[in-house]
Structure 1
């Protein structure tokens, strides 16, 4: 049986460890608050080949006040040099990787509002990868990572065919997508789809609905692992009006299957 002295001794040891843990926790919280924050609202953006894409990055100081002495550095994992560097109210591109020459820019007019976003022009396949936005200023030090994925996607042109059905033509998709047609109730309709391979593996999508249509609403879904294009075709008389909404896979590990659920489609149709 332990003596009173041993009990007191071990109680003191435990108390010391508890107090030390609380102090470390408080210091960590204080340090994180004092350093402000650097965040992104779009950690997995999708770039459309040949188009521009925005890599979002925002920062906030502990006081909410941002001075003009802000240093912003964009880097890409696996590449030497910088993507873009901003210091002393100007770009410093001496160490810029040649891949990004004349293709990237920040927005100096909004940096003092906490916006360090990067515009990447004319996206290429080799631009895919992890980018890091690092910000250093009075009251903030930190970084955020963004994984850019690159593909090709386009809205389909939906027309009424000679056999009183519908045909959808989308000029550019990569990776190769799946195509599904639904009626107003979310029931899948018979269709046939052809793919014509263009440059860089991009395919042109031509899909024909194999049922005769009447006045009403039909939905064409073109979807790959990166992007879903949900097109609503409203048939009235001989005319067809189309609206398309794009949604992007929010994480590389989500939607491994290209088949979208009927319940999800119905939800999207209801909230339009």
Structure 2
């Protein structure tokens, strides 16, 4: 029984020979003959898909019948891509657009925090969609003042996940203006390089988030 509610025979052996194989698993599943000769049946699935998640029942008929059941839960880790884009407004004010996106499974909630652990999630715009491979494609945008020297964290979070995925972003120095005594706009003179570091599990919560009831992350 798969997670989508369907039930069918995945792989059938008769007298040690392949009798039938479901098209969804063709070329992706097999059993080792040497283990069968030892009375042990192991089904190996390669190129695992999200749709493979579900309960699998091994049924052996030899005189009588016996079966064992196992549950497979497939996960796909999120690898976050980030980008910082300059948004022009006027001569003395500029905004920067911070973005992060990724694909993975299970579904997650996107949270934004700054270096002071201030929650900025409500100021962000996030989109969720499902790919042909049943992965969740997540993208999120946050607009901040380009003069900020803060660090921003884009966090992919699911309370049932053992790991939290996050990316840290900083606005490149070349985009950060400052005002001198005559209120003229200048650009900071340093290497002009920003930073965006993605990783998993390294973000430390000062104030744990509250799940958004409008997003299914189960």
The structure whose Rg is larger is 1
Question: Does 1:232 find its partner at 2:167?
Answer: yes
Q: Distance in 2 between matches of 1:156 and 1:83?
A: 37
CA contact (8 A) 1:155 1:244 kept: yes
C-alpha distance 201-143 of structure 1, shift in aligned 2 (>3 A):
closer
Question: Does 1:220 find its partner at 2:157?
Answer: no
C-alpha distance 200-99 of structure 1, shift in aligned 2 (>3 A):
closer
Gaps of at least 5 residues in structure 2 are: 61-65, 87-94, 174-192, 211-218
Which of 185, 190, 196 aligns to 1:241? It is 196
Q: Distance in 1 between matches of 2:99 and 2:35?
A: 45
Which of 61, 65, 79 aligns to 2:8? It is 79
Query: Which residue matches 2:143?
Result: 210
TM-score by length of 2: 0.50
Query: Which residue matches 1:268?
Result: none
Query: Which residue matches 1:118?
Result: 44
Gaps of at least 5 residues in structure 1 are: 1-45, 47-76, 136-140, 247-259, 266-272
Q: Summarize deviations over 1:196-250 as a string: whole Å, max 9, x none.
A: 665577664321123344254x32222458756511315374322322327xxxx
Question: Does 1:94 find its partner at 2:26?
Answer: no
Q: Summarize deviations over 1:74-109 as a string: whole Å, max 9, x none.
A: xxx9323x5376x9xxx8432433432201246789
Query: Which residue matches 1:74?
Result: none
C-alpha distance 94-109 of structure 1, shift in aligned 2 (>3 A):
closer
Counting matched residue pairs gives 164
CA contact (8 A) 2:57 2:67 kept: no
Which of 117, 124, 127 aligns to 1:191? It is 124
Q: Distance in 1 between matches of 2:7 and 2:206?
A: 37
C-alpha distance 233-133 of structure 1, shift in aligned 2 (>3 A):
farther
Q: Distance in 2 between matches of 1:103 and 1:178?
A: 32
- Give the deviation of 1:180 after TM superposition: 0.7
Q: Distance in 2 between matches of 1:167 and 1:156?
A: 10
Task: Output the aligned Cα RMSD.
Answer: 4.9
Q: Distance in 2 between matches of 1:232 and 1:124?
A: 24
Between structures 1 and 2, the one with greater strand share:
2
